[in-house]
Structure 1
């Protein structure tokens, strides 16, 4: 299982599953992140900072804890 925190910068991934409670899923939906979406990981810090994603042409920052609940697969 790969999550957003296990992906290298610059990779495109498809969201397979969002774990966590209803609040987490609702928060991510408000940011435009849904199961099946393809997003690009722009920046991930090893020191626990936020993860920066490009979603539908917009930059979105989420915390490492939330990013660890998003299962993904790399796409070409």
Structure 2
């Protein structure tokens, strides 16, 4: 299964699963990120920087640790 850190810049993905505890799921919900949402990966740095997503017209930056817990599938 792919996570947000394995996706190329500019790709649209659907969120399938959020691994981790209650705290991370609540944090993502507060940011407006839910299972079933379609997001666009705007920028991901392979050197350890944040992952920049676009969701519902907003840009959201997530750390690599959080992004690695979000399982996705690419949408064509």
Unaligned 5+ runs, structure 2: none
Residue number in structure 1 paired with 2:74: 74
> Superposition RMSD on alpha carbons, in Å?
0.4
Residue number in structure 1 paired with 2:26: 26
How big is the shift at 1:60?
0.2
- The size of the alignment, in residue pairs, is 76
1:39 aligns with 2:39: yes
TM-score by length of 1: 0.99
Query: What CA distance in whole angstroms lies between the structure 1 residues aligned with 2:74 and 2:3?
Result: 10
Secondary structure of the 1:72 match is strand
Runs of 4+ in 1 over 6 A off after TM superposition: none
Query: What CA distance in whole angstroms lies between the structure 2 residues aligned with 1:63 and 1:21?
Result: 16
Query: What CA distance in whole angstroms lies between the structure 2 residues aligned with 1:50 and 1:31?
Result: 15
